[in-house]
């Protein structure tokens, strides 16, 4: 899947086998001191948001940061078509 920060189609839930449209994006802010981005942990529909969030938090806990890097907590963002990652509002 392309790492695009905006989209013009309806994305689907990243849970394997789930055909439902994604409503949330799970992500954590990441910074190396000069640039800041949203690290993507997947997309979730209404039914899978808690499961995806829990998995993302486990992965986040295993993330090893290099010198100068910092990462924020894993949070749910509501997907808003056409909006850039950094402009998404927290759900
Ligand atoms: Zn789902």
For the chain, give every domain's residue range: 24-83
Does position 2 have pLDDT exceeding 70, yes or no? Answer: no
Task: Output the CA 28–ligand 1 centroid distance in Å.
Answer: 20
Task: Output the CA 71–ligand 1 centroid distance in Å.
Answer: 26
Task: Output the CA 67–ligand 1 centroid distance in Å.
Answer: 36
Task: Output the CA 81–ligand 1 centroid distance in Å.
Answer: 18
In sequence order, which ranges of the chain are alpha helices (DSSP H)? 49-62
Nearest-5° Cα angle at 41, 7 to 28:
95
How does strand 24-31 pair with strand 70-71? antiparallel
Tell me the pLDDT band of 91, cut-offs 50, 70 and 90: confident
Q: Tens of pLDDT along 16-52? A: 999 999 999 999 999 999 999 999 999 999 999 999 9
């Amino acid at each position: 899947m392309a790492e695009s920060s905006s989209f013009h189609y309806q994305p689907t839930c990243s849970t394997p086998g789930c055909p439902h449209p994604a409503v949330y994006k799970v992500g954590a802010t990441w910074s190396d001191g000069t640039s800041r981005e949203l690290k993507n942990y997947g997309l979730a529909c209404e039914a899978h948001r808690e499961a995806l969030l829990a998995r993302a938090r486990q992965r986040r806990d295993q993330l090893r940061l290099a010198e100068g890097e910092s990462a924020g907590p894993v949070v749910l963002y509501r997907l808003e078509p056409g909006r850039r990652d950094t402009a998404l509002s927290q759900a």
